[in-house]
Amino acid sequence: MPEPAASESRVLLVDAGTTHDIFDVVEVSEGILRVRTAFLFELGEEMKVRVEQGGSVFEATARVLAHVGNGADKVTELELEGRQVVP
């Protein structure tokens, strides 16, 4: 089954039980998110994220794999691990 379009997806940073809307979703693929953000996370840094996609919601640990591009075109690639469905 194909992944929903990025425009139908939302990614939120989860910190101390609170969500923060700091990501613009560029692409969602199996286990990888490509997002734009004003924050420059370190390679290898891990964070908890909530992904709202196609009517379902899950939380996962996201690890920063790469930053691609420059300036406003910079995209951060995140690898997802440990998905847990949120009711």
Over the stretch 36-53, which tens digit does the pLDDT of each residue have? 999 999 999 999 999 999
The low-confidence residues of the chain, meaning pLDDT below 50, are: 1-4
Give the number of C-alpha atoms closer than 13 A to the C-alpha of residue 55, restricted to the C-beta side: 0
Domain of residue 33, residue span:
6-85
pLDDT at 1: 37
Judge whether 53 lies within some domain.
yes
Judge whether 1 lies within some domain.
no
pLDDT at 25: 96
Structurally, the chain folds into a number of domains equal to 1
Judge whether 10 lies within some domain.
yes
pLDDT at 34: 97
pLDDT at 7: 60
- Calpha distance 69→8 (Å, rounded): 23
pLDDT at 2: 42
What the block records as the tokens of 50 is 């909530």
Judge whether 29 lies within some domain.
yes
The CA distances from residue 79 to 19, 24, 51, 76, 87, in Å, are 19, 16, 13, 10, 22
pLDDT at 5: 54
- Calpha distance 10→31 (Å, rounded): 15
